[in-house]
Amino acid sequence: MKSLTLTMPLDMHVHLRDGDMLNIVAPLTSYSFSGALVMPNLVPPLTTLEGIKEYRHRIKVAMEADDFEPYMTLFYQNYTREFLESVQNHITAIKIYPSGATTNSEGGVVSFDIEPMRETLEAMSDLGIILAVHGETNGFVMDREAEFMSVYEKLAINFPRLKIIMEHITTAAAVEMLDKYENLYATITVHHLMITLDDVAGGMLRPHLFCKPIAKRPEDRSALLKVALEAHPKVMFGSDSAPHPKHTKESCGCGAGVFTAPIALQLLCEVFDAHKKLDNLQAFVSDNAQRIYGICPDFKEVVLIKHDFVVPEMYGEVVPMMAGETLKWSIERVE
């Protein structure tokens, strides 16, 4: 039977939430992955050193495994250099959200004018703290990411020593930026490699595929697939697995977020296998992230086999992407 061994898989963008939800989802991520970049959009968002330390502790307790590293992020505000010095050993990146762009982002920035942010971003450049960006404007929903490219450009030029990660890119426009600016990198989700807007809203509405940024056009998906499948050195896997309780997804006013944590590696195998690029998956799902972020996770091996896996209907109160469907790959063992 066809199999693939991945060493130290990393999910460089995940929402683990808190409380009961954390207890449901953290063990699923820590089973498949060696580490994950944990998003700070809690309610209220993570903006203090105490908050980061306490949240990391709650994650460690919830995940039921010792061989998993939660790479912590701080929610962007204008911070002083002194504060950043005090947190730098406790965080891997700072995540910036435009206010209101997505779930729990109300405390984000209202403007990307450079001058008010200069002190913070200069200090981050000096200290080597990475900036992870939710890149969407408040324009027409299909154009929000493409419109944000001018902001990425401005940030990349004004702060050439700052490593900037374009999170969960969904457009050909974002892919083009990778080769234009040395300090721009990107994460890509597995769902954006698979679906377009048609899958979300072309037929019956599929709330469990609704997320921000919304899935775009076939040509955008092709551009994402191209760089993911070749494991372009500036892209890495970030699931953006974002659990919401079933009743808030299957409701009037469905929250944005696709829950993929327990099926992410299996789906990645399916996508890379379909394109005969399984050899590049290790780089996409770990090596690139290790190099870009300068992280060294503890040793872990995940063995996947080409064997059917029926996705459970629910994990706790959360419906995963492809619930009830059969995937072509499954996880055989983790060592």
Instruction: Kindly tell me which residue out of 56, 208, 212, 232 binds ligand NCD, with binding defined by CB under 6 A.
Output: 212
Instruction: Kindly tell me which residue out of 33, 52, 68, 134 binds ligand NCD, with binding defined by CB under 6 A.
Output: 134
* Binding to ligand NCD, residues 19-78 (CB under 6 A): 41
Alpha-carbon distance values, 144 to 152, 170, 190 (Å): 13, 10, 20
Alpha-carbon distance values, 22 to 25, 103, 180, 255 (Å): 5, 16, 38, 17
Distance CA 111, CA 141 (A): 18
Q: Does 11 bind Zn ion (CB under 5 A)?
A: no
Distance CA 101, CA 316 (A): 27
Q: Are 98 and 112 in contact (CB under 8 A)?
A: yes
Q: What's CA 179's distance to the chain center, in Å?
A: 21
Q: Does 98 bind ligand NCD (CB under 6 A)?
A: no
Catalytic residue among 66, 67, 143, 240: 240
Selection from 223, 220, 219, 321 nearest residue 270 by Cα: 321
Q: Does 211 bind ligand NCD (CB under 6 A)?
A: yes
Beta bridge partners of 17: none
Q: Are 239 and 190 in contact (CB under 8 A)?
A: yes
Instruction: Kindly tell me which residue out of 69, 136, 220, 240 binds Zn ion, with binding defined by CB under 5 A.
Output: 240
Q: Does 103 bind ligand NCD (CB under 6 A)?
A: yes
Residue 5 phi, psi (nearest 5):
-105, 120
Distance CA 129, CA 76 (A): 12
* Binding to Zn ion, residues 267-296 (CB under 5 A): none
* Part of the chain binding ligand NCD (CB under 6 A), chosen from 19-27, 68-76, 101-109, 138-146: 101-109
* Part of the chain binding ligand NCD (CB under 6 A), chosen from 96-104, 116-124, 219-227, 290-298: 96-104
* Part of the chain binding ligand NCD (CB under 6 A), chosen from 72-80, 97-105, 146-154, 158-166: 97-105
Catalytic residue flag (residue 240):
yes
Identify which of residues 75 and 309 has a Cβ nearer to ligand NCD in the complex.
Answer: 75
* Part of the chain binding ligand NCD (CB under 6 A), chosen from 102-110, 113-121, 265-273, 296-304: 102-110
Q: Does 136 bind Zn ion (CB under 5 A)?
A: no
**What is the contact surface with ligand NCD in residues (CB under 6 A)?**
15, 41, 102-104, 134, 211-212, 240, 242, 256-257
